[in-house]
Amino acid sequence: MPDQGEFKRDTNYISDRITADGRDGWPVEPGRYRLVIARACPWANRASIVRRLLGLEEVLSMGLCGPTHDERSWTFDLDPGGRDPVLGIERLQEAFFARYPDYPRGITVPSIVDVPSGQVVTNDFKQITVDLSLEWGAYHRDGAPELYPEKLRDEIEDVAEKVFQDVNNGVYKAGFATSQEAYEEAYRALFARLDWLSERLAGQRYLVGDTITEADVRLFTTLVRFDAVYHGHFKCNREKLAEMPVLWAYARDLFQTPGFGDTIDFGQIKEHYYVVHRNVNPTGIVPVGPSESGWLTPHGREELGGRPFGDGTPPGLPPVGERVPALGS
């Protein structure tokens, strides 16, 4: 079938897993691995949220790439000397090439790197967060929530797959479409799914069950970027998130929940999209707005019941070196 201007995401990732039994050769070990993310990236943001919620900061360190990159890879330009202080590399690409010298695909975040060898283990963003829940359980903090409960997994994956196709990836399908037809198809699918989500969430506080799950994490990272980036930059402009009452309240509820909003850096998010995507924004000018003040306003979602952490407790403050700027700063 000829190209119709549709955006096609490469979903072939390094599929090795870090597991409790080490069956892929990568056993769970405190201090052995480093999670590499960028604050700007929604896929990486998932991993930073789950790591926070589960309290894995002391056993799985985190490296932070800057918000922009070139065609070669993400860089550690936020660190002194432009090198990750643990891995000693300037580019995430170096960890991929350390394992696969001719690695042919994109260098993506999140990635987990084996510190002793300097080799990337996996960049499979979907499996990474699931395994943080299921395989790293011996090192979860006291009071960690159950984000991927067995009895709800089928429903979580069903909802999350719909969200991935039409929302998480849907905004990219709209933004990177190269034909009017492909753009409009993605646009319609996106807002039809957002309407579906609004109906689902009008009567329940969270997507699946009465506590936060993996499904909420996956949706949140797109919603939190919607008005700052996707509405204008990706032409997803039927309405802003702030004009969709149910989803706006739901997103604010999560943002104000420890582990969610404290991973968000709106400055880095905007810089990434508007500077890197020169095919979409040739000038590279980064917008000043929108205002961030609304994220901390009351949301009223407590009236729907639900217990954010189930029988668990909220995480404490992020480590000092991982704290994001206050809103509006």
User: Which residues are identified as catalytic?
Assistant: 41, 172
Map 37-61 to HEC letters: EECCCHHHHHHHHHHHHHCCCCCCE
Asked whether 50 and 43 are in contact (CB, 8 A), the reply is no
Asked whether 265 and 78 are in contact (CB, 8 A), the reply is no
For residue 105, what are the contacts with CB-CB under 8 A and spacing of at least 6? 10, 12
Residues 279, 274: Cα–Cα separation, whole Å: 10
Structure token digits, residue 150: 């067995």
Map 187-210 to HEC letters: HHHHHHHHHHHHHHHCCCCCCCCC
Residues 269, 20: Cα–Cα separation, whole Å: 34
Residues 174, 166: Cα–Cα separation, whole Å: 10
